[in-house]
C-alpha cells in the first residue's frame, strides 16, 4: 500500500470516534471479537502513543455514554465492563494522561501540532468518568 493510500485511509477528526483506531475499535466491539476492558493501558505506563490515546478517548466516550447514545451497532452489554468502578477509574486516569500534555501523550502532541484544533479536540475528548 502506498503512503498516499495510507494517508487517505487515515481518518482524523476531533470527535472521539473520528479516527481510524476508534473506527476499528467500534467494529471489533460490535462484532463481539473481544472485551474492550483488555485495551486499558497498564497503570505503570509512562507515555501513551497516539494510537493508544485514540483508543483511550474512544473507550472513555463509550464508558460515559448513556445506553441510548452508544454508537450504532454497540450494545450496552458490550461495554458494561468499562463502566465497572475500578475500570472506570483506570480509564479516567488514562484519559487525564492523554489530555494532559505532550510529555505523556503522543496524541496530545499530534493535536498540538495541528492548525489550532487542540482545544476543540480536548473539549470533544473529555468526558466525566467520576
Q: What is the mean pLDDT of residues 31-52?
A: 86
Pair 83, 92: CB distance under 8 Å: no
Integer Cα distance of 126 and 97 in angstroms? 11
Integer Cα distance of 106 and 67 in angstroms? 30
**% of the chain at pLDDT higher than 90:** 77
pLDDT tens per residue, range 65-100: 999 999 999 999 999 999 999 999 999 999 999 999
First CA to last CA distance, the chain: 43
Pair 27, 81: CB distance under 8 Å: no
pLDDT tens per residue, range 101-119: 999 999 999 999 988 899 9
pLDDT above 90: residue 64: yes
Does the predicted model carry a pTM greater than 0.85?
yes
Amino acid at each position: 500500500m502506498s503512503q498516499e493510500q495510507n494517508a487517505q485511509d487515515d481518518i482524523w477528526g476531533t470527535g472521539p470516534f473520528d479516527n481510524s483506531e476508534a473506527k476499528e475499535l467500534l467494529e471489533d466491539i460490535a462484532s463481539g471479537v473481544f472485551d474492550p476492558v483488555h485495551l486499558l493501558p497498564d497503570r505503570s505506563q509512562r507515555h501513551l502513543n497516539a494510537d493508544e490515546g485514540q483508543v483511550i478517548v474512544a473507550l472513555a466516550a463509550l464508558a460515559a455514554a448513556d445506553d441510548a447514545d452508544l454508537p450504532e451497532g454497540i450494545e450496552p452489554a458490550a461495554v458494561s465492563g468499562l463502566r465497572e468502578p475500578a475500570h472506570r477509574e483506570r480509564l479516567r486516569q488514562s484519559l487525564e494522561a492523554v489530555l494532559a500534555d505532550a510529555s505523556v501523550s503522543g496524541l496530545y502532541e499530534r493535536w498540538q501540532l495541528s492548525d489550532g484544533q487542540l482545544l476543540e479536540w480536548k473539549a470533544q475528548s473529555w468526558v466525566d468518568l467520576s
